[in-house]
Each structure stands twice: as structure tokens, then as C-alpha cells.
Structure 1
Amino acid sequence: MGGGQARAGALMAVTAMMSVQLGMAVAVNLIEDIGSDGTAWLRLAWAGLLLLVVVRPRPSAFTRKTFGMCVLLGIVSAAVSLFFMASLDRLPLGTATALEFLGPLTVAAAHGTGRARLVWPGLAAIGVVLLSQPFSGGVDLKGVVLALAAGAAWAVYILLTQNVGDRVAGVTGLAVSMPVAGLVATFTVSPAVFERMTLHILLVGLGMAILLPVVPFVLELLALRRLTTAAFGTLMCLEPALAFVVGFTLLHQSLGVSAIIGIFVVVIAGVGAARSGGRQADMHIEVG
């Protein structure tokens, strides 16, 4: 069962990553119109509204503790989005994504067991360094700090998402956390964003919200029911590679030799994590 769960979880995680990067490609262009804070707010607000309408969570689905966890997950989800969108205003998509994934790498190293605890995260860390190329200089320092802050928030997000997924049935938890994330983002957005809002931007934001975060957050929640936090944290390091591919094909960002080598390194680490990271038991607890 562990192997089957690992493969299913890995497939869900990879699909989520593809959706994320397509959504990020849309977001990079949207930042030019409404800024990074407006872009983060628009996608979170749409995502929260969509999940509320589709899922329609009932109070009976939660205990006081699980509801509080969902609210906290929403706050952390907003932090991930706000920090990362702000970093995209200063860094290329691939570089920002690679730096952000130091958060999942930390989770992987902290929760792994045996040699796999350090081997796969260590290999992925090498790949992230090759992708981000910190030794080349010329990287915006504030952008780096913002991407690292997004990574720290993402590490917390992984732990909270697995906890919520184990204790709240289906995607009900996301129907609470996403509206909370949208509300948090509303308090950070500049008033000028609303003045620049058009029907076209609203529709683009709707499509972006479906790609990021609705589809990936749902898939990640389901994947974390099938993978250990260590395997998930390492497997998600495939995303910097996907970010470079999307940046190259859709945003016309060039790839150097070091970045190409880094792609292969993180792919190998992600495959290794997926093969060894199935959860040994179904820990999902139905509530309500």
C-alpha cells in the first residue's frame, strides 16, 4: 500500500506543480497591471469565493480545534502568496521558486528517516543552488529575502495542510482556509489596485485562481494524505525545474548550463523521494 500511495501522491503533487507554474506565468504578466499585492489578493479572493460556493462547508464538519487550524492555514497561505508575488516583482520566476523551496527542503530534512533523511534533500539542495546560482552575483537582495520568507511560510503550510487533511473530510478545510487567506490579503492590498480593476483583469484573475491556488491546493491536500512530509517536501523541489521550463517557454527567460544541470539534479531527488515516501497507514479521520 505504501508504494501505491506514494505513486498516487507523487502524481497529484506533480500535477499540482504544473498548475502552479502555469498560474505563475499568468501572474507575472498581471503584476505589471495591478502590482504584486493586487495579484496575490485577486487570486486568493477568487479562490476563496469559488471554494465557498462549490464546497459550502458546514459547521458540523469541524471541531473548535480543526476550525482554528483551518483559519491558521488560511493566514499562512496568504503569507506564502504575498511574499512570493512580491519576490516575483524583483526576481526571475525560476530563481524565486528555487529560493522558496528551501522551506520544503527544511521540512524534508527534519522529518526524514534513515539515510533518505539527508540523501534526497541534500541532492535537491545541490540542484536548488545550481538553479538559483547565488554565486553569480547581481541578485536583488530584497527579492531573495522575500522568496526565503515565502519558503519559511511554505514549510509551515506543508505541516498544517497535512494536519488539516488528516482531520477534516474532503476539501472542506480549504473552503475555510482560502476565504481566510483572501480576507488577510484584502488588508494588505493598495487602494490603487481597485481603481485599476477592469473586467478583463477580473476574468484573468479568475483563470489564475483556478490554476493557482484552487487546483494545486486541493491536489496537495490529497497528496499529503498519501506521502510523508519528508517525501512531499523533497518532491516539491521538482517545482524549480518546472518554473525554469515555464519561464523559458512562456516568459522567454533563458536557461544556462548550470540551470539545466540543476533541473536534472532536482528531478532525480524528487523521484527518489517519491519512491520512498508513502505513508504507511491511512490517517484520515472523518469529522462530522
Structure 2
Amino acid sequence: MNPSAARASVVSDSSSVAWPLGCLLASLLSQYVGAASAKGLFPLVGAEGVTALRVSIAAVILMAVWRPWRTWPGRRALPDLIAYGAMLGLMNLCIYQAMARIPIGVAIAIEVTGPLAVALFGSRRPRDVLWVVLAVAGLLPLLPVRGATGLDPVGMVWAAAAAACWALYIVFGKRASALPGGQAAAWGMLVATTFTLPLGVAQAGSALLAPGVLLTGLAVAVLSSAAPYSLEMVALRRLPRHVFGLLVSASPAVAALVGFFMLGERLSALQWAAIACVVGASAGSALGAPAPAATATRADNR
């Protein structure tokens, strides 16, 4: 190959990688800017109301953008889509309940241990023991033993529930992501709406229709659901699993930084160290994952 052709090939490869990388980074930032915006609504409509707004508005947007009804999913895909949507809705509800009580960065650090456990489950590689130990080392300082951390125990429980939902989201999200385009995200969000919207109405009632609440809810839906889930579907089809997982492993750190700059959430040095341990465990697991892997949702290592 002549030098010009070689340079052209390098540029082409760089461009093909830059686009999905940019999509994934934009997804991470958008996700947690949306989460920080959502916290401003908690005093007005509660975590249930914010979840209802986020999920239902995102469902409308995704259905309008992707128009998934043009190609209906087969009967065999329905159970996976329903389970995927159910876990999506529950995960959002649980993490908002956690964020209402503890800092965003801490909540996400706990939440990511769910998919990390799935990634490491059943592994026979000795080095994966290191990532388990590192993750546990990160979680131990966060435990509210005798109130030493100053964290709300109920918020910690909700974050742990979100971790469990995210772990299950992986299982069904891998199968659902086989659908073309953003169909999985659209159908999944619609399923999630079927139970999160009634819960939100029961909690907040007509307050959900206040103009200011609706406007903020729209921003949260776009930033936290419609944009990130669509961007991830683009990225995960073009990035190797280990690269995808490595970038997503930074989620707790990104969330903590957004919480600091937007909400003034100041974490202690011990909490930052705990987040670093969880990020390190997730990154190590992602880098050590086998090269040939099927496409999956962000929950591969989220």
C-alpha cells in the first residue's frame, strides 16, 4: 500500500471510531446532566412523578423518532421486550428514589455493581478476583455503619435495588438490542410507561401538568432517556465490547462531577476513593472481557 493510501486508511479508521466514541461520551454526559436536573423536581412531584415524566415523555419522543410500528417485533421477541421495558422502568424509579436521598455519584457507584456482578459472574479467570475485591473495597466505605458515612440508609437500599434491576436489564437488553435502529429503546420505554405513569399520577396528581414541571420533565426526558439510549444503540453496534465497557465504567465519576458542578454535592475523600475503586473494578472487568462478544446494551458494564 502506498503512503497516501495508508494515510487515508488511518483517517478512515479514526473517523469510524470517533463517531461512536463521541456518541457514547455524549450519552454519559447527557444522562447525568438530566439526573441533576431531575433532582430539582423531587420536592414538587416526588421521585415517582419525575420517573413518570421522564419515561412517558421519552416514550413519546422515541416512538415519534423511530416509528417502530413500521416493523412489528416478532412474537418471540415480545417477552424480551416486555422484560426489558419493565426493568428499564424499575431501574429509573429505584435510582431516582436513591438520588432523592444520597448524592448522585454515590448512587451511581452502587448501581453499577449490578452489571459488574453479572460481568464477573461465573468467571474462571484468577485476575477477575482482583476486580471483585476492588469493588467490595469501594462499597465497604459507603456502608452506613453507625452513621459513619452520613448517607441515608434508605437511599442506599434504593441504589442497591437499582443495581439489581440494571443486572436484569443486561440479560433482556442484550436480546432486545438485536432489533434494528432504536426500536428496542422505543418499545422498551413504552412498556415502562404502562406502570410508571400511573404511579406518578397517584403520587403527584395534577402537579405533573404544571407548565414549569412539564418543561423540566421534557428536558429530563430528552437528556436522561431519549438521547442517551438512542446514542448508546448507535455506539454499541460500532465499538468493541471492551472499549464500550471501559468508557461506561467511568459513569460514577461523571455523575459525581456533574453533581458537584450542578448541585454542589461535595463528596468526602473517602467517598471519592470508594467511587474510584468501583470505576477501577468496572474498567478492569471491561478490559479483561473476551474479545468476541455479542452486542449488548450499556448495561454490559454500566
The bucket for the TM-score relative to the shorter chain is: 0.7 to 0.9
How far has the Cα of 1:113 moved from its partner?
5.6
How far, CA to CA, are the matches of 1:134 and 1:9 in structure 2? Answer: 39
Counterparts in 2 of 1:281 and 1:90: CA distance versus 1, 3 Å: closer
TM-score by length of 2: 0.79
TM-score by length of 1: 0.82
Matched residue, 1:242: 254
Counterparts in 2 of 1:56 and 1:116: CA distance versus 1, 3 Å: farther
How far, CA to CA, are the matches of 1:98 and 1:10 in structure 2? Answer: 22
How far has the Cα of 1:244 moved from its partner?
1.6
**1:32 aligned onto 2:39:** no
How far, CA to CA, are the matches of 2:105 and 2:26 in structure 1? Answer: 18
Counterparts in 2 of 1:263 and 1:100: CA distance versus 1, 3 Å: closer
**1:109 aligned onto 2:94:** no
Counterparts in 2 of 1:264 and 1:85: CA distance versus 1, 3 Å: closer
> What is the Cα-based RMSD across aligned positions, in Å?
3.2
Structure 1 residues 15-26: aligned runs within 5 Å: 15-26=26-37
How far has the Cα of 1:193 moved from its partner?
2.0
* Unaligned stretches of 5+ residues in structure 2: 1-13, 297-302
Q: What is the SS of the residue equivalent to 2:183?
A: coil
Counterparts in 2 of 1:61 and 1:140: CA distance versus 1, 3 Å: same
Identity of aligned residues (%): 29
How far has the Cα of 1:239 moved from its partner?
1.8
Matched residue, 1:179: 190
CA deviation map 1:235-262 (0-9, x unaligned) = 6442222222112111111122213333
Counterparts in 2 of 1:248 and 1:129: CA distance versus 1, 3 Å: farther
Counterparts in 2 of 1:137 and 1:274: CA distance versus 1, 3 Å: closer
Structure 1 residues 136-285: aligned runs within 5 Å: 136-165=148-177, 167-191=178-202, 193-196=204-207, 197-225=209-237, 226=239, 228=241, 236-277=248-289, 279-280=291-292
CA deviation map 1:126-171 (0-9, x unaligned) = 33445x3544254323222211111100111122112211x31121
State the structure with more CA Rg.
2
How far, CA to CA, are the matches of 1:271 and 1:36 in structure 2? Answer: 30
How far, CA to CA, are the matches of 1:41 and 1:94 in structure 2? Answer: 22
Q: What is the SS of the residue equivalent to 2:199?
A: coil
**1:91 aligned onto 2:102:** yes
Paired AA for residue 206 in structure 1: L
Residues 120 and 270, structure 1, Cα contact 8 Å, conserved in 2: yes
Counterparts in 2 of 1:73 and 1:208: CA distance versus 1, 3 Å: same
Residues 55 and 171, structure 1, Cα contact 8 Å, conserved in 2: yes
